Chain A
Amino acid sequence: MSASSLSVSARIFWLIFLVLLFLHQDFWNWTDERTVFLGMPVGLFHHALFSVACSVFGAWAVCRAWPKEWEEWADPLDASSEESTESKSSFPKE
């Protein structure tokens, strides 16, 4: 479960993230004011589509890259999590 060894799905996650980050800049639309769809100029329409792409990315992440190991690690101790941190923590006060 360490962060050092990235799984294939984690690598794909970061790759898609970086591609979307680049697409967000859309410098090619900066001086274009054509209205393309539902009264939106192209610069705004691009970003509305970008929002939809982020949702699709989220759906992919949930289906293909969900960190099940963290879920499984946390769930078995469901009952004991009712205890508060205060009672469990052994860190000395400064």
Chain B
Amino acid sequence: MSVLPVIIVYLSLLLILGWGSSRFFRGTSRDFFVASHSIGPFLLLMSVFGTTMTAFALVGSTGKSFERGIGTYGLMASISGLIHMAIFFLIGIRLWALGKRHGYLTQIQFFRARFESDGLGYLLFPILVLLVVPYLLIGIIGAGKVIEPVTAGAFPELFTNPTIPAWLGGVPPWLSGLVICLVVLTYVFMGGSRGAAVANAFQTLVFMAMGMVAFYFVVHSLGGLGQAAQTPMRMTEDGSIVQDYRFDQQEGVLKKRDEPLKIGSVKDFSHSNPTPRHPHLQREPLVAEFKRKNPQTGELVSFEREIGTSFWSFVTYLFIPLSVGMFPHLFQHWLTARSARAFKLTVIAHPICIMIVWVPCVLIGTWATGLLPPGVPPPAVLSATLDMLVGDPLLTGLLTAGVLAAIMSSLDSQFLCLGTMFTNDVVVHRSGKEAYSDSQKLRIARFFIVGIVFLTYLLAMVLKNANVFDLAVWCFSGFSALFPLVFAALYWKRATKQGAVASVLAALLTWLWFFRQSGYGGEYFVGPGITPAAICFLASSLALIGFSLITTPPRSSTIDRFFPKRS
């Protein structure tokens, strides 16, 4: 029960922060949409890092390493360090210069001007919204999955339909998702983009600090790093998968079992490396079979899980971080930052920040394989581990607040960005700047944000058991399929309007096809393990190149505007 007050205090703090920011809010639409003009290097780093690290980073990475092992870090985190850094450097600075010189506020304004096409903006807008929605979804789903286990037993008579029986009485995902959405909407509406940036920086610091605190206490409970490294589930000579340890919650210590507990077995053992090993500490793939209890009937049901990562999956995952080049909120930061120098700290520190957050989460997920039942839903692994190993309600509450900070620091920027795009790129663009007063523009943006959040919330309730990591990968895959558009816009003079439209359509159609094949958000690979993102990217690139080469080049005035000559 004591966990809840800590969470409530944290959420109240955010509201106070939003109220404080509202005192600096000038009430204009420009101040609401773009405070980035006044954001310096540190706030920019915190904002960029905070928005890219959502439930995906803390909840998703722990859950994914619980499934696949340490390869999770290489799949997403370390490659993101390289690709994000390169994109900030190669794309971000050029976009900043063009935004500064020509006054672009959103990415749709930029693409409309670069490709001399009004229609491209109308085509791009719904696609960007469609791709942002999964990003919002993972935040809302992640919040629900984190809060329910840590509040289990708090209201046994009120909440009687838990996700799994052990969480009876925990705050259900529908309520936690609703509260999180309302808190973020409130502080965003009060403080606009400046309020969001301040809250973002605060929350990014909170979740980085809490991540390290969580890691310290988990390591301490497991008896030190050396002991913790021994805990992951183990594969024996006969292909059984066993847990060698258990955590005694009464005494608060890790104990070796007298007999290893068999929890599953390797499937198709003849094709697996028969050497006894900890499959989560390596990357060689194998398929294992486990059992989990059906929460409704209590019946044991078999399920399969691939541990490790195939070579092709690992190689082709590098296409997924390209998504940062097309994230609307990052694009907006690039176009509207105070100065190019503000990016220097982000270019240098971003990979280290990723490491600080991801390494502990991946280790916790890997260690948890030896302690938790294999059927625990991946998004709930982090909180279930904290609940089991840390135990102290105050500490668990603080750590949960850290996870919520990571989630909310992404939601706020996305909410704002959607409102900015809708108001500027659709409503004002269509009707003209003078058609609406400043306060009307603000109201339009707020209504659109509320509408999207409402729809996303409903969708989150339907998809409440979706895997946060996989859903995020689908969102990133869509944006990475659009990456050729921004790269060509900045580096290829011959790229034309027709090429751009063909590229966007190819990206959309291939993405929709694979998304459907995946069962709308599940893990999906093509052939030997190729990620759909690689194929979508290829289709989009080929369409852009092919259609650009067979159509009339852009006007020379446009080329001069976007490709300044050397002085």
Interface residues of A (CB under 8 A from B): 1-3, 13, 17, 20-21, 24-27, 29-33, 35, 38-41, 43-44, 47-48, 50-52, 54-55, 57-59, 61-62, 65-67, 69-71, 73-75, 77-78, 80-89, 91-94
- Count of interface residues, chain B, beta-carbon cutoff 8 Å: 73
Of chain A, the residue at the smallest CB distance from B279 is: A33
Tell me whether A84 and B70 are in contact (CB under 8 A). no
Contact B93 A2, beta carbon cutoff 8 Å: no
**B13 at interface by CB-CB < 8 Å:** no
- Known contacts A17-B86, A54-B81; decide if A70 and B229 are in contact (CB<8 Å): no
> Known contacts A47-B73, A69-B566, A71-B340; is A84 also within 8 Å of B347 by CB?
no
Q: Is chain A's binding surface mostly helix, strand, loop or mixed?
A: helix
Q: Is the CB of A41 within 8 A of B70?
A: yes
The chain A residue with its CB closest to the CB of B116 is: A91
CB proximity to A under 8 Å, residues B189-235: 219, 225-226, 228-229
User: SS class of chain B's interface: helix, strand, loop or mixed?
Assistant: helix
Q: Is B100 an interface residue (CB 8 A)?
A: yes
Tell which of B101, B117, B348, B354 touches A81, judged by Cβ atoms closer than 8 Å: B101
Question: In whole angstroms, how far apart are the Cα atoms of A66 and B92 in the complex?
Answer: 12
Distance in angstroms between the alpha carbons of A61 and B492 in the assembled complex: 22
Interface residues of B in 436-491 (CB under 8 A from A): 491
Which stretch of B165-173, B311-319, B542-550 is in the interface?
A: B311-319
Given contacts A31-B273, A39-B226, A51-B78, contact A58 B350 (CB under 8 A): yes
**Shortest Cβ distance from A20 into B: residue:** B82
Question: What is the interface of chain B, defined by CB distance below 8 A to chain A?
Answer: 70-71, 73-74, 77-79, 81-82, 85-86, 89, 93-94, 96-105, 109-110, 112-113, 116-119, 219, 225-226, 228-229, 273, 277-278, 281-284, 311, 314-315, 318, 339-341, 344, 347-352, 354-355, 359, 362-363, 428-429, 433, 491-492, 563-567
CA distance A1 to B109 in the complex (A): 23
Question: How many A-B contacts if CB must be within 8 Å?
Answer: 184
- Determine how close the nearest CB of chain B comes to the CB of A34; give it in whole angstroms: 9
Does A1 contact B565, Cβ atoms closer than 8 Å? yes
CB proximity of A23 to chain B, nearest CB, Å: 9
CB of B105 within 8 A of CB of A93, answer: no
| A71 CA to B491 CA, complexed, in Å | 17
Given known A-B contacts A2-B565, A33-B278, A44-B73, A70 and B89 have beta carbons under 8 A apart: no
Instruction: Kindly provide the distance from the CB of B109 to the nearest chain A CB, expressed in whole angstroms.
Output: 5
B103-A85 in contact (CB<8A): yes
Measured between beta carbons, the chain A residues less than 8 angstroms from B273 are 31
The 7 closest A-B pairs by CB, nearest first: A39-B225, A74-B97, A54-B351, A33-B281, A51-B355, A54-B81, A74-B100
Q: How far is the CA of A38 from the CA of B86 in the complex (A)?
A: 29
Whether A33 pairs with B282 at a CB distance below 8 angstroms is: yes
- Given A30-B284, A35-B229, A48-B355, the answer on whether A21 and B82 have CB atoms closer than 8 Å is yes
